């Protein structure tokens, strides 16, 4: 265990912290007006949360889930918008998975959506990752042997396809399960893969140059690999995944890096309880929360040891940009926030 995690664990359990011996409670389920699968999720604050998903669906709450605005993006009721990035109560960007490969932006709280990127006929986009409210990246499966990476520097108004995206291994792909197989931290980008191999592609100069490192995650089949990443700090990164066709299998479904993504290793304790499609770090209490079809697990020591939080099924978990809350979304219009005891 790295020194920082020993320190964080002491802080989280000590008597001098603001909340003494905090523990995660139940998922508090929200009453949403839709019944579609929601894989796109972006909590801006404890009150402002965007979501997106199947049948072109978008949702927005501005009161912590008590009420929701919702609709269909530009009439695209057959398109699955599997990732969304909210910036405030007015502005959000949504990206599709599959065809058509499109990115849309709203600046009026979802009333109108503008097509800001139209992909190629063979594009399959998986999600987005933003460094700040201006610089962001959309990423997709390999085409002609190279990963698809598209960059914006103006808050998503325009997008440019990268010419320096890394080469992929044949039989390797990304997963559009939760919009979180790429993460960004300052100049550092990390992109995870699955399928024939499960690797981490990383750039420490904003995507100008890339390197690749292998991981011990379950791999070898099209349904296996890394499905989600989260950054703890400038040294520690966590990846979760497994096999979505064997959701209760918890073999090699988490891997950790303690050196800024250069090398990856298995955790040292209990793994999450099954295949996990989403993971998020909650810095206020130093928790890591992972979700999947068979339930939720959490770790208080940087992903080394995991405990179950029940069997409620979710696709995606995200912390709010204000760092004050954790949210999850899933099938049948499911949206929830995690109770803290």
Measured CA to CA, the distance from residue 43 to residue 270 in angstroms comes to: 29
CB-CB neighbours of 9 under 10 Å: 16
DSSP label at residue 131: S
178-222 pLDDT per residue, tens? 999 999 999 999 999 999 999 999 999 999 999 999 999 999 999
Measured CA to CA, the distance from residue 328 to residue 318 in angstroms comes to: 6
Burial of residue 143 (CB within 10 Å: 0-12, 13-18, 19+) is middle
DSSP 34-78: --S-EEEEEE-SSS-EEEEEGGGEEEEESSTTSS-EEEEGGG-TT
pTM flag (> 0.85):
yes
Question: 53-90 burial, b if ≥16 CB within 10 A, otherwise e?
Answer: bbbbbbbbbbebbeebebbebbebeebbbbbbbbbebe
Q: Which helix (H) or strand (E) holds 10?
A: helix 3-13
Measured CA to CA, the distance from residue 325 to residue 327 in angstroms comes to: 7
CA geometry: angle 126, 224, 311, nearest 5 deg? 90
User: Considering only CA atoms, which of 189, 187, 214 is closest in space to residue 200?
Assistant: 214
Contact predicate 268/304, CB 8 Å: yes
DSSP 283-340: TTTTEEEEEETTEEEEESSTTSS-EE------SEEEE-TTSS-EEEE-STT-EEEEEE
98-143 pLDDT per residue, tens? 999 999 999 999 999 999 999 999 999 999 999 999 999 999 999 9
Q: What is the residue extent of each domain of the chain?
A: 35-340
At 239 the pLDDT is: 98
CB-CB neighbours of 155 under 10 Å: 19
Contact predicate 279/233, CB 8 Å: no
Contact predicate 188/166, CB 8 Å: no
Measured CA to CA, the distance from residue 155 to residue 193 in angstroms comes to: 26
CA geometry: angle 21, 23, 28, nearest 5 deg? 150
Contact predicate 290/278, CB 8 Å: yes
At 234 the pLDDT is: 87
Measured CA to CA, the distance from residue 240 to residue 254 in angstroms comes to: 4
User: Considering only CA atoms, which of 77, 43, 36 is closest in space to residue 60?
Assistant: 43
Average pLDDT, rounded, for the chain = 94
3-state secondary structure at position 163: coil
242-295 pLDDT per residue, tens? 999 999 999 999 999 999 999 999 999 999 999 999 999 999 999 999 999 999
DSSP label at residue 80: E
CA 92 to centroid of chain Cα atoms:
16
Q: Please tell me the class of the 35-340 domain.
A: mainly beta
56-98 pLDDT per residue, tens? 999 999 999 999 999 999 999 999 999 999 999 999 999 999 9
Mean pLDDT of 43-68: 98
Measured CA to CA, the distance from residue 338 to residue 330 in angstroms comes to: 14
């Amino acid at each position: 265990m790295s020194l920082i995690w020993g320190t964080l664990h002491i802080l989280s359990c000590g008597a001098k912290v603001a909340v003494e011996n905090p523990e995660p409670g139940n998922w508090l389920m929200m009453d949403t007006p839709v019944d579609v699968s929601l894989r796109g999720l972006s909590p801006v604050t404890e009150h402002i949360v965007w979501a997106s998903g199947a049948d072109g669906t978008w949702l927005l709450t501005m009161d912590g889930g008590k009420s929701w605005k919702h609709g269909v993006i530009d009439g695209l009721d057959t398109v699955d918008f599997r990732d969304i990035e909210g910036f405030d109560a007015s502005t959000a960007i949504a990206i599709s998975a599959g065809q058509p490969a499109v990115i849309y932006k709203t600046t009026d709280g979802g009333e109108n959506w503008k097509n800001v990127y139209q992909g190629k006929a063979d594009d399959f986009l998986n999600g987005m990752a933003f460094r700040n409210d201006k610089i962001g990246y959309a990423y997709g499966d390999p085409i002609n042997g190279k990963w698809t990476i598209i960059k914006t520097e103006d808050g998503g108004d325009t997008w440019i396809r990268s010419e320096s995206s890394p080469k992929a291994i044949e039989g390797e792909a990304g997963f559009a399960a939760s919009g979180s197989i790429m993460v960004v931290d300052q100049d550092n980008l990390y992109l995870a893969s699955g399928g024939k191999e499960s690797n981490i592609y990383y750039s420490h100069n904003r995507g100008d140059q890339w390197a690749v490192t292998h991981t011990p995650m379950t791999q070898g089949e099209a349904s296996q690999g890394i499905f989600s990443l989260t950054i703890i700090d400038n040294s520690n990164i966590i990846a979760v995944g497994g096999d979505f066709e064997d959701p209760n299998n918890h073999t090699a479904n988490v891997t950790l890096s303690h050196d800024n993504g250069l090398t990856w290793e298995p955790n040292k304790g209990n793994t999450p309880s099954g295949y996990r499609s989403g993971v998020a770090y909650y810095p206020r209490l130093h928790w890591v929360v992972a979700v999947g079809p068979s339930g939720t697990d959490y770790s208080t020591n940087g992903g080394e040891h995991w405990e179950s939080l029940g069997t409620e099924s979710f696709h995606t978990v995200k912390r709010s940009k204000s760092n004050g809350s954790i949210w999850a979304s899933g099938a049948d219009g499911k949206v929830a926030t995690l109770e803290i005891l």
